[in-house]
Chains A and B, each alone.
Chain A
Amino acid sequence: MYDIVIIGAGIAGLTAAIYASRANKKVLIIEKQNYGGRIISAPHVKNYPGFLDISGVDLATNLYVQATSLGAELVFENAESIQNGINKKVITDKHEYSCKAIIIATGLDRRSLNIPGEKELVGKGVSYCATCDGNFYKDKVVAVVGGGKSAIEDAIYLSDIASKVYLISRKNLEEEVNKKNIEVITNYSVDKINSKDNIESIDIKSSNDSKNIKVDGLFVSIGYETSSEEFESVIELDDRGYIISNNTHTNLDGIFAAGDCCKKDLRQLVTAASDGAIAATEAIKYIEKNR
Chain B
Amino acid sequence: MVIEGNNEIFEKEVLNYEGKVLVDFNATWCGPCRMLKPVLDQVAANGKKIVAIDVDNDRDIAIKYNISSIPCLILFENGKEVKRSVGLIPINEIESLFEE
Interface residues of A (CB under 8 A from B): 32-36, 40, 55, 57-58, 60-61, 64, 68, 74-78, 93, 123, 127, 129, 131-133, 135-136
Contact = CB atoms under 8 A, between A and B. Distances in A.
A123 B86 contact: yes
Given A34-B39, A40-B35, A60-B35, A76 B87 contact: no
Contacts of A58: 31
B1 interface: no
A40 B39 CA distance: 16
* Closest 7 pairs between A and B when the two form their complex, measured CB to CB: A57-B31, A76-B91, A136-B69, A34-B35, A33-B90, A132-B32, A76-B39
Interface string B35-46: 110110010000
Contact of A136 (B38, B42, B86, B92): B86
Contact of A32 (B34, B35, B86, B90): B90
Nearest to A78: B92
B34 A76 contact: no
A114 B90 CA distance: 20
Nearest to A61: B34
B6 interface: no
Nearest to A34: B35
Nearest to A77: B91
Contacts of A129: 88
A123 B36 CA distance: 15
Contact of B88 (A64, A77, A78, A132): A132
Given A40-B31, A55-B31, A58-B31, A133 B36 contact: no
A63 B27 CA distance: 20
A125 to B, nearest CB: 11
Interface of B: 31-32, 34-36, 38-39, 42, 68-69, 85-92
Given A57-B31, A57-B34, A58-B31, A132 B39 contact: no
A132 B36 CA distance: 11
Most buried by B among A57, A64, A76: A76
Contacts of A93: 92
B56 to A, nearest CB: 15
Contacts of A55: 31
A59 to B, nearest CB: 11
Contact of B89 (A75, A78, A123, A135): A123
B11 to A, nearest CB: 29
A71 to B, nearest CB: 15
B36 A34 contact: yes
A245 B22 CA distance: 44
A57 B32 contact: yes
Contacts of A32: 90
A24 B87 CA distance: 36
Contacts of A132: 31-32, 87-88
Contacts of A123: 85-87, 89
A34 B69 contact: no
Given A76-B90, A123-B85, A133-B87, A64 B38 contact: yes
A157 to B, nearest CB: 13
Given A74-B38, A123-B86, A132-B32, 8 more contacts: A34-B35, A35-B35, A40-B31, A57-B35, A58-B31, A76-B42, A76-B91, A136-B68
Nearest to A40: B35
Contacts of A40: 31-32, 35
B70 to A, nearest CB: 8
Contacts of A57: 31-32, 34-35
Given A64-B38, A136-B69, A34 B87 contact: no
A75 B87 contact: no
